[in-house]
Structures are given as C-alpha cells and as structure tokens.
Structure 1
Amino acid sequence: MIPAESRPTDDKVRFPLGDVLRSVLTLRSRVPEEAFSASILGTERDGSGVVIDKGLVLTIGYLVMEAEEVWLRTVDGRAVAGHPLAFDPITGFGLVQAMGALDAPALPLGSAAGLRVGDPLVLAAGGGVKGALMARLVQRQPFAGYWEYLLDDALFTSPAHPRWGGAGCIDADGRLVGIGSLMLQQAPAGDTSNMVVPIDLLPPVLDDLKRRGTNPEPPRPWLGIYAQDADAGVIVAGVVRDGPSDKAGVEPGDVIATVGDVPVGDLVDLWRQVWVLGPAGTKVPLTLLKGEGAGGRVVIQSIDRAEMLHRPRAN
C-alpha cells in the first residue's frame, strides 16, 4: 500500500476523489504455461485497469496478452469476470470487457498533450485511496523498449508507484491522461520513476480494438530479438528461440551496426529504421558485429508478432 502521507486527499485535489478512484479496478489474469509470454511475464499477472465506458476497462497490454482468465475487483471488493478483448503491441494498451455489472463509473478521457514537467498527477492502482499516489510529471521523451516497442512521447512520473502496471494516471481535473506501464531506475542517482503511456494514443484506435481486438495499422515487422543500448552500440541481449532472428543466425552479444546501409545510433533509431522498411513479412537486412570487430550481414525474414501468441478461448 501507499504510505498515508503520499496519498491524495480531498484537500489536495480539485475533483471528487472518491468518485474518480471508483473507476480504477484491481485486475488479475491467468495465462497458460505454454503461452509465448509465460516464461517472461509469468502465468499469474496482477495489476489494475480503468473503466472508460460501460463495462469496458483499459489496462496495459502485457497484463492481458494471451490471457485465458481475467478477474476484475471493484473498490468495494466485488469480483467480476472479464474477457480479454484486445491487445495492441503498437500502443501497449489492452482492453477488457466485464462479463457482469461493475457498478463503477467511467473515467472521462483527458489529454496528455498539454501536460508540462512539474504538473501534479495522481497515479492510481486498484483499491481506492490506499492504492493512489500523488506524483508529478518529471519528463517526457521517446521511449524504446527492448521487446521491439517504441513510444515517440512517453510520460515519466515520480515518485514511482510500486503497483504501476495498468494504473490510471489522472490529471488535476480528474481525467485519465495515461496508463502505467513500467518502473525505471535512473543511474547514477538511483531515482525511480514510472513510464506512462499517454491516453492520446487511444482514441484513434479504440473502435478497432473493440471490434477487431488489434490496432488498425498493418502489423510491424517483428524480428524476435531483445535489444538494448550499450557503450558499444545497440547490442542483442537475447533472441527468441525459433524466431526470425534465431533462424537467421543472430546471437546474444551481437552489435547491430546498420539496418540496410543506414547506421544505427540507438534503440529508438533501430526500431524506427526496421519499421520504415514495410509491414510484417518484410525482409530486414542487418549488419552485425560479432566480437573483436568481426561481422557480416544477415537478412531476417520478419513475421507478425501475433503469429507467436497463444489465442485465448472465447468465453
């Protein structure tokens, strides 16, 4: 739980705190052991979600990716089954459809576009005020995830919420402006912050997520690598077994020097260069450095990430 002195109170906010926090639910999901993400994210996942329409709950996608069971718990302790409606690997959002009455109000959507560093926010996990944290926006910048993910304008809040996954980021007017995704530690000071996906990414894709369960954009080329920035450049930290890069001979420790003939500066640069080549199925040429400067070129036959994911049974 959040320490009492760090929680919002009615005199610290200008919106009806109790009503707003009723929109934030506790979420638990179960993923089968054979699922692609089970070895990394586990088979039992806990987090939060925010009611954005009648029976419709917005969360962070990794909580419901490949899930076969989802349970939602309201502030008053009632448990309601949910159906994992959508997972969007581009924005990072996930949607859950409640299978019963939630008796929880929908939280109005705001916009993160006008937020400035220093603005006050509430980062709220399920559980009412005990799960809510007073925070501030401390940074906004591109964020590249090692799992082939990129946000052009991610939000970073501090202090960090210990239950960040799917937490609602609420602005000074009581509107939803983002969904909690990660906790990050910044060296050398060791300060921690949360990365929040801005809500502005949701409206353009919401109808497709509800109808089709995925983003309307063509699926991006997926390489099946985990990559990170290092002093030597962008380094391959891991390779998905039997994935496209594994089949092409990419190995952990390889440094990705170029995409085609274009040098790779950092992880943001890598993902942008790969995705501009075309949709899933595009051949991706990489120049790799393999120890002591030796290297060579590989051509990776990319695929749609969804081909690797377990498809949950319909409820």
Structure 2
Amino acid sequence: MRRFLLPLVWPTVAGVLVAIVLLLAFPQLSGRDPSVSSPTVNSAPIQQTATPPEVKRPAPEVKNAPALSRDAGPVSYSEAVERAAPAVVNIYSSRIVESEQHPLMSDPFFRQFFGKDTPSRQRMLSSLGSGVIISDEGYVLTNHHVIKGADQIQVALRDGRETLADVIGTDPESDLAVLHIDLEDLPVIAISDSTQAAVGDVALAIGNPFGVGQTVTMGIVSATGRSHLGLNAYEDFIQTDAAINPGNSGGALINPEGALIGINTAIFSRSGGSQGIGFAIPANLARQILNELVTQGRVIRGWLGIEAQEMTRELAASFGLDSVAGVVISGIVPNGPADEAGLEPGDVLIKVDGRTIRDARAVMTDIAAISPGTQLPLSLVRNGERMDVTLEVGERPTAETRQPQAQPQS
C-alpha cells in the first residue's frame, strides 16, 4: 500500500506549495481587495479632560437674509466674508479709575496718618472688542461686557473710518448692548433666522482677537440651545469650534453666505485661549434685544418674584411626588407677584399656563417672554395637595435695582 501512495504524496505537496507561492505573489487571486486593510481596534483608554427716560425711537430697519442653501458647499468662503466683514467693527473702550499711589495705603494703620488727604492718582484702563453694524441708521450690536463702565467708546470700521459711539442701551442679563455711530454709507450685515442653524453647518467668526486686526476663523456649529453655563441669566447659546479669542467678543458669527447667525460672546478655556468651545448669542435673540433697547431704552421681561431650585429625585421623594417634573420655590421676593398671590417657600411649581415644568432656567426664560400684566395660571403642590392659583405677571427689575441672587430668579 505504501508503494502505491508514495508516488501520489509528492505531487500533492508540490501543488500546495505552488498555490501558496502564487497567492502570496498575486493576492487578488484569493478574491479579496488587497487595498482594504483589516480593521484594527484602539485599545488605549479614552483621555477625559478634565427705569430710564421714555424713549420714542422707531425700531431699526435690518436686512433679512434668505434661507441658507445646503445643496452644495463652496470651495471658498471669500464671498461670504466680503459680504459680512465690512460691517464688523473694532471697539476700543476706556475708563478712568482712581488708584492709590502706594500699596501701603490699603492698610488702615497707614491710612490714618493721611486722613481724607490720601494721595491718589488717575490711570486709564482700556479694553478691546468687536461689534456688528446692524442697520444703516448707525446701530451697532456688541456685548455688554465689552463696553461696561466705559467713559469713552471708539469704533473703527474696516474701511479706516473711526468715530466715537453713544450707548443706546445695555442688557446685562443677555450680555448685549446697542451703540450708535453717526456716519454715512455704512456697511450693514444681513441677519439670518438663527433657528435654522443646524449642527454641522459651517460657521465663520469675524472679530479683532488680541487687537491684531480683523480676523476670520472657520469651524462648524457644534451645538445649539446651550444653557446652564452660568454665563448669563438668559442662555440659549450657539456653540461653535471656530476659534474665538479675547477681542472677538461682540463680533459676528456668520453662515457660508455671509449672514449673521450669532454674536460671539464667550469661550470655554483652561488657558485663556481658544480650545474649540465658543459660544454666540443667537441672531434672533440679538434682534429682539436690539428692538427693545432702541424703542424702549430697556428690555421688558415678565417676572413672578420667586427663587427656583431644580427638582431632584431625592426632593421629589421628600415631597411625595412620582416624578422630578417641576421646580421648588426656595424663596419669595417680598411684595412681588408671587407674594401677593399667596405662594410660599416650599411650594412645588409643576405647571405654568398648563405646560409642565422640566427645568428652572427654561421656565425663567418662558416667564420672561410673558408681557407684564398678564393673568397667568399656575399649578403647584403644597403639603402634598395640588393647588391652582392665578397671578398677575410683573415686570422683572433691572440688574441695577435687584439684589444679587445665588439661584435662578423668575
């Protein structure tokens, strides 16, 4: 038997060896595309980083932008920049402060020897930012923090013109301000409907970072409706990874067609420079604040006079509630609308105008949109019992007249 099988073994072995050599030399013979590599798995752990006088001005006429087309993306954004950039201005603000001549003057022991004649000197503090020309009437939108406390505000246009600006009004709670400049033939930016901005849309930031001059950076819309950041009382930010640095505040965030989608306001940074997390106030909110500041001199918001605390599962269980819907009233402003309606600390507010409450800041924003004098139905739970009350919405006090609160106030 061995004599008969031995002549067959060697041809078989030789055939297998030849097949292996051919497959190694010509892998396409196996039917597999050699250009496609096998998937690999990265097993490395993920690194986690850590009341003013009455104002009777007409509302400014702004230029509305057409809807953004997403059919095809351009290879260059130079046309968009050319449409928008002339309307983005540099803002230089300055104020004079008193400073003591010597650090020892801060010590009461040394100060007593000088009495009221403590030597002092004046010095000039300067800051820079950006702004956006909204109408050919000369209205400029910027951030409140850019011009806060300024004694003089200078606006420089891209075409080389410079002029002093007047403050029409400010709204610290949204961090917006409106300036007015008196120049002719002003470039004006078109304003888009910021509710149409979608995550993934290309976004360009224009401003004056670090005072180097007008600069354009590009990114995308990273998120919309960002809140709970602790930046402003009213937050509904557009988040972008377009580089935003000090000096960009008040500048424009535009879409690929050069229309304004937001006012650059803040960055999240551990180093002080851009780390790809910037925030812009949506153009729709900026337009609303602009109109109110121009026509009324202030922003009028609805107000209940309560301090609200977020509901947690532990609090819900202690109140005998089945869900975490609603907010806990932790404080009542004396003589405010809620106080006059009989609300008490410890009440759980579960519905406003028939709508279930999910978030303390969200309900604050909803109430702010209600006109003062409106009769507003509320549903609440007190000592485990459901109650329905109706109160008259008041006007939210300004930041200057209201005492600072640690919790959201509605």
- Which residue of the partner structure matches residue 211 of structure 1? 295
- Where in structure 2 are the equivalents of 1:32-51 lying within 5 Å? 33=97, 44-51=126-133
Correspondence for 1:170 among 254, 258, 263: 254
Identical columns (%): 19
Deviations 1:10-53 (A, max 9, x none): 9512735334211100012234649xxxxxxx953311000111
The 3-state SS of whatever aligns with 1:113 is: helix
Specify the alignment match of 2:204 in structure 1.
Answer: 122
Pairwise CA RMSD: 4.2
What is the aligned partner in structure 2 of residue 256 from structure 1?
none
Cα shift at 1:164: 2.8
TM-fit CA distance, 1:193: 1.3
TM-score under structure 1 normalisation? 0.61
3-state SS of paired residue (1:306)? coil
Deviation at 1:132, TM superposition (A): 1.0
Matches of 2:397 and 2:283, distance apart in 1: 28
- Distance in 2 (alpha carbons) for counterparts of 1:32 and 1:222: 38
Give the Cα–Cα distance (whole angstroms) in 1 for the partners of residues 263 and 400 of structure 2: 22
Match of 1:108 in 2: 190
Given that 2:171 and 2:298 are in contact with CA atoms closer than 8 Å, whether structure 1 keeps it comes out as yes
Q: Once the 2 structures are TM-superposed, how far is the Cα of residue 102 of structure 1 from its aligned partner?
A: 5.9
Partner in structure 1 of residue 55 of structure 2: none
Whether 2:161 is the aligned partner of 1:81: answer no
- Larger-gyration structure (1/2): 2
In structure 2, distance between residues paired with 1:279 and 1:17: 39
Contact 2:141 2:290 in 1 (8 A): no
Which residue is equivalent to 1:283? Answer: none
Give the number of the structure whose residues are more often strand, by fraction: 1
Q: How many pairs align?
A: 237
Residue aligning to 1:93:
176
TM-score, structure 2 as length reference = 0.48
1:21 aligned onto 2:104: no
Provide the residue aligned with 2:280 in structure 1: 196
Question: Aligned equivalents of 2:277 and 2:299: distance in 1?
Answer: 28
Structure 1 alignment gaps of length 5 or more: 1-9, 35-41, 224-244, 246-258, 281-301, 310-315
Q: For each residue in 1:259-306, what CA deviation from the matched residue of structure 2 results, as whole angstroms up to 9, or x when unmatched?
A: 74459xxxx9554567869999xxxxxxxxxxxxxxxxxxxxx96312
Given that 1:21 and 1:128 are in contact with CA atoms closer than 8 Å, whether structure 2 keeps it comes out as no
* SS at 1:144 equivalent: coil
CA contact (8 A) 1:125 1:164 kept: yes
| Pair 179,213 (structure 1): closer, same or farther in 2 beyond 3 Å | same
Q: Classify the secondary structure of the residue corresponding to 1:204.
A: helix
More helix by share: 2
Secondary structure of the 2:401 match is: helix
Are the counterparts in 1 of residues 169 and 293 from structure 2 also a CA contact under 8 Å?
Answer: yes
2:398 aligns with one of 299, 304, 307: 304
Matched, 1:56 2:139: yes
Larger RCO, structure (CA 8 Å, separation 6 or more): 1
Cα separation, 2, equivalents of 1:14 and 1:79: 25
Q: 1:203 Cα deviation (Å)?
A: 3.3
